[in-house]
Amino acid sequence: MRFKITIPNMSCQHCYQKIQKALAIPGVNTFEMDIPSKKGTLSFDDTIVNQENLTQSVADIGYHLDWGDQIE
């Protein structure tokens, strides 16, 4: 599954790296962000991990993950 995402309180490369590390878990395929717009994409294998797990992983390090539309 691949989704558009927004992380509104991400503001710099350091933030991006922290989030990238938090999402380095089994089932996550790709995480890409445009830091200035705070928008990106996240793809994952939903047989291994789900949106709730990913949202919590980001929340655990102090960031908020907003889910957008699924990308075909």
- What's the pLDDT at 72? 79
pLDDT by residue for the chain (72 residues), tens digit each?
999 999 999 999 999 999 999 999 999 999 999 999 999 999 999 999 999 999 999 999 999 999 999 997
Tell me, what's the pLDDT at 60?
A: 98
Strand order in the sheet with 66-71: 28-34, 39-44, 2-6, 66-71
Q: What is the pLDDT of residue 4?
A: 98
Is 38 in contact with 7 (CB distance < 8 Å)? yes
